[in-house]
Each structure stands twice: as C-alpha cells, then as structure tokens.
Structure 1
Amino acid sequence: MTSGAISKESETLKYGIIGYGGMGAIRHNAMRAIGQNVAHKIYEIRPVPEFRDLLVDDYRKIIDDPEIEAVIICTPNFLNKKLTIEALKAGKHVFCEKPPAFNGTEMEEIIEVEDQANRVLMYGFNHRHHGGSIKIRETIESGEYGRVLWLRGRYGKSVDENYFGNWRANKELAGGGILLDQGIHMLDLFLQIGGDFDEMHAFVSNLYWKLPGIEDNVFAIFRNSTSGTCASLHSTMTQWRHLFSFEVFLERGYMVLNGLKTPSGTYGAEALSIAKNRSNAPAATWEDEEVHRYDVDQSWEREMANFVAAVNGTVTPRSRDSFEALRVMRMIDRIYDNERHQSGQLFTKLNGEMSL
C-alpha cells in the first residue's frame, strides 16, 4: 500500500514502452500526468498513429538503447518474464504488468537476475493504490479498530464468446484463467493486510467455458496460523455482472469496499463503508457507518509516481516489490497445486470404484 499523495518528480525519466495496447496507453498517460515526458520509444505490433514517430520495429531497440533508463512492459503474460530479464540484464529499471511470471519458480529466476542487475523492479498491482484500499490500510495501521480477524474478497466479471479469440483464452499465452487475470489482485490485498497465509484449501473449475487450463472460477480459503486471521476468495468470470467487493472485519469494527473506479466504469462506484464504533448486539446499524466515496481513479498515477521516485532514489519502498510478487505467485502455485492434488485423488477414487 502507499500514501494517497501523488508526487511529481522534477527529474524526468527516459523510458520506453513495450506493448501499447490498453495497458500501455494507460501507463503512458499516467506517466505524463505525473509530469514525465512522453516515452522515448514505443514498440507495438499494431499502428499507434498518435505516436508514429516514436514507434520502433523491434523491442530490442528499446532494451538496447543506452539513453533509455527504464522499460515499461505491457505485453501478454507469457512475455513478462522473458522481457523483464532481458531489460534487467541490459541495465534498465523495469515496471512490468502482472502476472510477473507463470509460477513462483519463474519469479525466483527473475529475482536472481534483479539481484545481479541492481535495478528497480516493480509490478502492476494498482489495486493497492486505489483510494479505498489506501484508506483501509491507514485505518488498520491507526489501531483504532484493533487487529484484523478475517477478510473476504469477491472479484468477478462477465465474458462472452468473444473471449475465445483473446490471448487470455490460451493457456500457453496466459498461464491460467481468472485467477491470474483478476484474482491475483485480491490475493495481493490479502497479503498486504493479513500477512502470510500458511494454510489453504481451494477449488478450481472451468464448468462453463471449458477452456483447457483456463479456469473460470476459483474458491479458496486461507488462514495465517500465527495470527489466526482467515481470508476467503472467490474469483470468477461466470458472474454475469462485474463486481468488486473487499471486506475487512476487525475486533472493533469493519470496513467494506464495494465497487472499483475503473476506466470502463463497469464495476460501479467505489465506496468504502467503515463502522465508527462497535454497536450493541446483535449488529451495527447503517447509521453507525461513515462512507467514503472515490470518484476519481488515481491508482495508475500513484503507482507510476512510486516507480519514478524509486528510480530517482527519492523514496524507499515499504518492501521489495519483487518479493511481494513472489509471495503472490506462491499463493497461486498452492491454489493450482491443491486443485491438481484433489483431481488426482478423485481420479484414483473413481478408478478404484470402477474396478470393484
């Protein structure tokens, strides 16, 4: 998590962007909004008329350019690890979209290169930087409501048959389904607030779209055995309506964040309800709540400002971002491994019953 303030670095950064689809444009706009110049070079396989003079025909012309200090990577998932490693080895600072890799082992390989390169490496977990998420973290850190008891996160969207033509529908390109697409953000929020969860059970399914290796639903529960904090996740693309809901319940109150301010507006208004005090049983009333509404999404600007400040050495991150990414990927590994283990047990059980 980060402070709600957005700092504009006076020192501009020479950066290149690899991948100028929707996310590349969002990152570029955010950089310009915080006072950075336009990108030095852009690589994109499709035309980008407004920046045609910046386009290069090979991404290596960005990575190998000695004038470029940082590379922003906004490509399909399967390219993230490869391009990050190449850019770090070329001496560039790197900002890369999530997921950082396909699994924890790949993330460890990236960290080895990062250690040798001694450059800033950050990943696109912008949900940490939404106004509601920042307020949740600040409220918890104030201690006013006591310790966190449990968390619940629901994050889902609706897709149609057009999804089949998207690279996200291909396991080789995407690495997984809705968990790597959206659920990863909720897991990151869990870790930011609940610490490490060493106990877990999960169900992964693709009952509707039936795409090989592309799950459309994940149900998972976690527990931090040290603190006792529990968390529940539902990540889905068969919800038929876009929904974001993040709930934090503490000893002396609760916080419920519903909606998410996004460019598409499909997740509804972002509103955080906080119980001011603990009412008499059986429950708090609506009148006990204070509601914070966030009408402008500044998460992209905050995130890019953090990256530029880290590169310029004007801010020290709370924790090393690649380690945070590794924690998330290890959780994802455990979810997928748990499902494979359960499926193997079911296959063994059914085979045994058929042989009777």
Structure 2
Amino acid sequence: MSETMKKLRVGVIGLGMGRAHIKGWQEHPNVEVVALADPDAARLTKVGDEFSVAGRYASAEEMLATERLDVVSVCTPNKFHMELTLAALAAGCHVLCEKPMAMNAQESRQMLEAAKDAGKRLMINFSYRFSAASRALKAQVDAGLFGDFYFGRSVWHRRRGMPGFGGWFGTKALAGGGPLIDLGVHRLDLALWLMGYPQPTWVMGSTYNPIASGLAQKAGKTFDVEDLAAGFIRFDTGATLALEASWAANIQEAELMETRLLGTKAGLLQKNLGGGYTFDAQVFTEVNGAPVDMHLCPPTLEAQSAMFDYAEAILTGTPHPAGGDEGLVVMQILDALYESARTGKPVQIHPGAGQ
C-alpha cells in the first residue's frame, strides 16, 4: 500500500518534549501514535494513559525491534539525537528529531548521510517557524515584499528561566551548551528561514555565566554551560545577523523573543507578546514617501504543528520543511560561535564544514 493510502504509524522516544510531539502528530487525521519509549516507568505510564497509546517500551531499541513504524520522533537529551536517529533510520523509519539536530556539525553530517543512504526523510523540529505569525511573514517574503535582507537581529532572552535547573540542560556532556543551543537555535533557524538560508562565511561569538553559576553553586546543582551567549554572523550575500540567547539576564521581561530583519524594500518583526508564547507579525515599509506599519495576522491565530506538516509531506510525497540540510547549517553556525567564544577570535565557516 502506498504512503498516500495509509495511516502513518508513529513512535515517540523521550516523553519530556515528546508530549508536545504526540499532540502535534495527533492533529493529523491520517497519523496514529502507536508506541512510546522512555526509561522512566512512571512517566511512560502517565503519558501512555493520557494519550491512549498502547505500545510502551523502556528503551528505544525495544520499540524499534518490536513495532512496525513509519516515523519516529526523537525527543531525548541532545547527546542521544544522533545514535537514536541512526537507529530509527536503520529500522526503516523517517525521523523527526528535536532541535538542536545533534551535539555538533560532525554528528549532524552523519545523520544527514545516513538518511540519504536509507532513502528516508530527516526533519528537525524548528517549531517556531510553524506559528501563524511566522508563516504570514514567510508568505510575504516569498512574494518579494521585503526585497533583499541585509541586516537582522534575532533574540531569545529570559530574566530567569533555566530549564530543569540541575538537570541535563545545564550539563555540557548531555546538552552540548546552554541557551545558545537550546533557545538561540530556534531564533537562528527562524531568521535563516526568512532570509532564505544564506551560506554563513564567518562568525564572532561570546558566552557568559555571571548569574547561573552562582545560583547553581548555592543550590549544589551541576551547571557547566553558559547562561548568556551573543554572536554576529556574516553571510556570502554580504548580509549580517546578530544573535542573542540567555536563560538568566537582568531585563524587564520574563521572556523576550524578537526577530527583526531589515530589507531593501521593507522590514519585519516577529515577537512574543506580554512575555508569553503568543506571537505578532509586523511589517514596516514606505508608500508614496510615508511610513506604513502593518500587522499581518491576529496574534491569537493558530497554525498546524511541525508534525502535521511533516505527516502531510510524507503522505503526499512532497518536500518536507526544516530538513536535515538546514539543521546542519544551524549546527555549523553554533559550533563556530562556541569556538569563537572559546578562542576570542572570529571563526570562518566553509561550505561542507562538519564533514
């Protein structure tokens, strides 16, 4: 039976972020989440009962060996993204991997090559490009409203918002880094996607840890990553992008997310409202010599999830968004930013980096 005539059978590995994946998959009428894998028995039971999923496994290996799956969501700590993606591909599954794609560009390259060798799809969950506000802006970008983008700034700051403080997010061996690889990855992808994914040529980056390290020490928690990172990226088009991300910063807002891009014809802004997770899309341009500001869609408008779009692409045999090739570009930039922060020098990015 062809993929256009059947329901996709989906398995989800890791039930922290995996809960959001299950919800996203269940939006599509031709998708059935049939299996879950998580070593936490209590969480496995709770989530399985919540979403009425019968297949429950203590390990991904057991799930892949037992179930006949079409797609697997990998929602584990970053350290395990590559090995679980490779295992799922080897089992004949398409993969939706949580961001970041992997711990580094080298691992990302292996994942991308494995997907090509297996003849399977690999998508990265860059979820913030799937909001109604982001989609509305992208439609106008594609229509040529903005002209050529030449400068941008993409930001995600939290006043105090360290996820799972003392857990794997703050452990470099499991996460690969701090807010840059956790939050900055989303704002970087969003900006790159709107810009048409230009090729990065060099970056300059800095990382800081003046707040979280002290909090961790007082609480007796493990924390060996940055709590704030900032960088500057230049592309082969001549355009540049400033990127900022923090879990702890002395700012007014509890949570600040903004992506601004300046184009030769107009500029755009995608931002969160009221420190929350509702987003606005604005355009700034000029008509007959007068400045004109536009809101593209109601802030409360909802859109389909990344999982819905991925399922639709698989079922209809059409290209899927947020492919592994774009995930690799993001990892190349993140690697270079961390290396620049370590050395205090600019780092060049060459096409094919990460091989």
Which bracket does the TM-score occupy, shorter chain normalised?
Answer: 0.7 to 0.9
Give 1:308's aligned amino acid. A
Partner of 1:346: none
Q: 2:293 aligned with 1:289, yes or no?
A: yes
Asked if 1:277 corresponds to 2:275, the answer is no
Asked whether the 8 Å contact 1:62–1:71 carries over to 2, the reply is no
Residue in 1 that maps onto 2:262: 249
Task: Please say which structure displays the higher CA radius of gyration.
Answer: 1
Q: Percent identity?
A: 23
State how far apart, in whole Å, the 1-side matches of 2:101 and 2:119 are. 18
Residues 163 and 95 (structure 1 numbering): CA distance in 2 closer, same or farther, change over 3 Å? closer
- Looking at structure 1, the residues matched to 112 and 266 of structure 2 have their Cα atoms a distance apart, in angstroms, of 39
Letter of the 1:329 counterpart: M
Q: Which residue of 2 aligns with 1:215?
A: 226
Aligned position for 2:58? 57
SS in 1 for 2:286: coil
Q: 1:159 to 1:11 in 2, by over 3 A?
A: farther
Say which of 11, 34, 55 aligns to 2:28: 34
> Which of 43, 50, 54 in structure 1 is aligned with 2:37?
43
Encode CA deviations 1:23-43: one digit per residue, 9 max, x unaligned: 211111111112145411111
* Matches of 1:257 and 1:160, distance apart in 2: 21
Partner of 1:170: 171
Q: State the TM-score, normalizing by the size of structure 1.
A: 0.82
Deviation at 1:82, TM superposition (A): 1.1
The one-letter code matched in structure 2 to 1:208 is I
* Equivalent residue number for residue 13 of structure 1: 8
Structure 1 segments of 4+ aligned residues over 6 angstroms from their partners: none
Tell me, in whole angstroms, the C-alpha distance in 2 between the residues paired with 1:38 and 1:122: 18
Aligned Cα RMSD in Å?
A: 2.4
Q: RCO greater where, 1 or 2, for CA within 8 Å and sep 6 or more?
A: 2
- Checking the alignment, whether the CA contact within 8 Å between 1:63 and 1:71 is kept in structure 2 is no
Report the equivalent of 1:100: 101
CA 1:41–1:30: 2 relative to 1, 3 Å: same
Which stretches in structure 1 are left out of the alignment for 5+ residues?
Answer: 1-8, 344-356
Q: Distance in 2 between matches of 1:82 and 1:314?
A: 26
Judge which range, 132-141 or 243-252, deviates more.
132-141
Q: Identify if the C-alpha distance between structure 1 residues 83 and 161 changes in structure 2 by more than 3 Å, giving closer, same or farther.
A: closer
2: CA distance, partners of 1:237 / 1:162: 8
Unmatched segments (≥5 aa) in structure 2: 214-221, 346-355
